[in-house]
A and B are shown apart, each in its own frame.
Chain A
């Protein structure tokens, strides 16, 4: 029970962070990605700030034997730099550069109640299902 409340709280704080930083606004994201236009580099600072926090905290956390409200840590052990990693990242990047949404911002943007947000999230779920059908 407390684990679910904790997951909800983490999502809430994460989402507020996306709005404050401007990540949830496609225009701002595209201004960041479009380095040849009116480039807005501020999201690089957001990213650097977030990585700074995880970089300093993740090491000590993963030295613990267990998390607080779950039985074990679930962290990817993959190390291989393979074709699916690179091709998938390229496809994701292209979609991100077209729409200005990556997954977190798209989900929190459902609160706009706009057709755009619902179409994007629906297509994103469908894209995941298509990959599962094709490769699993």
Chain B
């Protein structure tokens, strides 16, 4: 379904379903872009993100509420969020943009990014779980 939704967004809207790029385009668009041209561009991004959030509510109505983890400090959550936001804007993509879509169009750039963020993610998960012993 993730792949199908990505194909859908490309064939219908002409856009790559890269969630970090869609989000950053909404809040942290490149400096200097004309305000007039931004309105419609922001709207499709907002609608895509609304779809993502509504999907969560629909899923909970069907499958029940998601289990929430206990005892994982919000400071760690904030640090993780900052790194994800900064890093995805710097590298121009995340799991969906570089992963699902970039690999789908055989971008070598994306392949390199995927290899690096997978390796970094595995290393960080090891440190957080086994060296720091944080709950998850």
**Which residues in A have some Cβ–Cβ distance to B below 8 Å?**
3-21, 23-27, 30, 33-37, 46-47, 49-55, 57-59, 61-62, 64, 66-76, 78-81, 84-104, 106-112, 114-116, 119-132, 135-136
Contacts and interface: CB of A to CB of B under 8 A. Distances in A.
Contacts, number: 447
Contacts of A123: 77-82, 84-85
A12 B113 CA distance: 26
A61 B4 CA distance: 13
27 contacts: A3-B13, A7-B48, A9-B8, A10-B8, A11-B50, A12-B51, A13-B1, A13-B8, A15-B59, A35-B126, A53-B6, A66-B14, A67-B13, A67-B15, A73-B15, A89-B112, A95-B124, A96-B84, A103-B23, A107-B19, A115-B74, A116-B69, A119-B78, A123-B85, A127-B86, A128-B28, A131-B86
A119 B77 contact: yes
Contact of A95 (B32, B65, B68, B81): B81
Contacts of B95: 47, 96, 102-104
A111 B114 CA distance: 27
